[in-house]
Structure 1
């Protein structure tokens, strides 16, 4: 079996399985009935000491959705290479210290056959925006497959079309993005609060300055608006609130879409 081995275990999160499981559950805390069934989560992707509590606040809302989810489509920005379009990988599973997660290979191949995505193991090999979500999913869900998609330079419609093709019963969409980068604490709060309002309105003109996953968000929000989905913010903090100084911070926000 071809397996994508973890690239940021031991740096972004613990590489010891016992410590990692404990870290994930500390971030999630008590599971909460969200009052709705989640169709998607938007969560950050920094090291757990920085953004883990913000991500965990969204994951804990899967309590009344987890039994209905058998596949998670994860879309995140490409940080490591210059990627044109969207890319899946040919790996049969993605591994974390908590175990292996099977990839929905037929769905990947179907997207490639339709010309909606390309295969690129290079884009996935060291990409953290998808990987850091996997232990959280392993802490929340029992039996599921994943469909990881790295998103590079592309149009809104490129992302919209992929999401539309994958929107079937039992699928949870997981959108991985951080907010503003390297402003002062006060500046980051102002910028991020402004952009959170835009996100709550499903704006589709976000830029990389607003959120590193802007290409994913814009296409996703177009789909949400078309599908008449609803969104609710869960938690906002920045690295100045968690584990960093307040001179150059990164913003983190999480949302539930239902």
Structure 2
């Protein structure tokens, strides 16, 4: 049995299970369940001090009753990857309890020829997946040891591969026993991120950033895969989980094509926040958004 350690616990979030559980519970209690039950959510992956409260609005929409498998699609920050990669470990550690990896599903995905294996160094260095594990453990607490996880590291996909992986995952998204977690922060603004887009009509930088983010969020809410792709080409917004988001949107697109329409699929953003309100060009910030996809 191999375990991926909780390498960011204690620095990005609480390492004490009891304290962390209480913190997550408080955030969840302050959120409303108004777009539930989620089939997929988009939530941030920064330190919980910055985005824990925002992420709760997405996780509040999760109903664990029928969920048996949780896919986690996180962008690769440190490892150059043109496709997607899977974990070779058996469990992912969290301060609450360990989450069991769905080895059978991993083998099924690997057999498609579209996936590589992560080595343990790559696996443990990446935070985009790990930052969701405590929330998953918390909202799935009543189903502890009765569900599995499928962590998927998503690389720098081109449009063709975003469509390809969307088609591949669509069959699993359609299954109500699966939950998809899409890990993404939104605009990374400032000199240190090499991104300083500013629309002066908004008079303040942070309002310009929010308007830019909400432009993309509106396209996601419309489940418009092509529109989101064109938006990124035009503005180059530094949404670090843009490729996992695009995979989700293309999975929805594939389901729509098979069903001959949207058939009740609805995405809604429930919270938006910024780590800092930028007022001058010397400032920097990261944006966070949380939303949920439901099937009626």
Fold-level match, TM-score > 0.5?
yes
Task: Count matched residues.
Answer: 252
Aligned to 2:68: 70
Aligned to 1:37: 37
What is the CA deviation profile of residues 35-90 of structure 1, one whole-angstrom value per residue up to 9, with x for unaligned ones?
6421101101110011111101111122xx21111110000100111112100011
Helix, strand or coil for the counterpart of 1:12?
A: coil
Question: What runs of 5+ residues in structure 1 fail to find an aligned partner?
Answer: none
Aligned to 2:270: 234
Distance 1:203 1:126 in 2: 32
1:120 CA drift (Å) = 1.2
Distance 2:152 2:85 in 1: 6
Aligned to 2:133: 134
Distance 2:14 2:168 in 1: 32
Distance 1:123 1:34 in 2: 37
Q: TM-score, normalised by structure 1?
A: 0.91
Question: What runs of 5+ residues in structure 2 fail to find an aligned partner?
Answer: 191-204, 256-261
- The structure whose Rg is larger is 2
Aligned to 1:175: 182
- Root mean square deviation, CA, Å: 1.9
Distance 2:48 2:35 in 1: 27
CA separation of 1:158 and 1:12: change in aligned 2, threshold 3 A:
farther
Distance 2:176 2:207 in 1: 42
Distance 2:188 2:102 in 1: 33
Helix, strand or coil for the counterpart of 2:223?
A: coil
Distance 1:82 1:158 in 2: 19
Distance 1:166 1:149 in 2: 14
Aligned to 2:156: 153
1:238 CA drift (Å) = 0.9
Distance 1:223 1:113 in 2: 19
Identify the match of residue 289 of structure 2 among 248, 253, 258: 253
Task: Report whether the alignment pairs 1:188 with 2:209.
Answer: yes
Aligned to 1:7: 7
CA separation of 1:254 and 1:31: change in aligned 2, threshold 3 A:
closer
What is the CA deviation profile of residues 155-196 of structure 1, one whole-angstrom value per residue up to 9, with x for unaligned ones?
212321331243333100110001000244233212112211
1:210 CA drift (Å) = 4.3
Aligned to 1:110: 108
Distance 2:238 2:164 in 1: 20
What is the CA deviation profile of residues 16-40 of structure 1, one whole-angstrom value per residue up to 9, with x for unaligned ones?
1111111211221257443642110
Q: TM-score, normalised by structure 2?
A: 0.80
CA separation of 1:125 and 1:226: change in aligned 2, threshold 3 A:
same
Task: Report whether the alignment pairs 1:84 with 2:82.
Answer: yes
The answer (yes or no) to whether the contact 2:35–2:292 under 8 Å persists in 1 is no
What is the CA deviation profile of residues 97-148 of structure 1, one whole-angstrom value per residue up to 9, with x for unaligned ones?
1121100000001111121211112432211111011110111112321000
CA separation of 1:225 and 1:152: change in aligned 2, threshold 3 A:
same
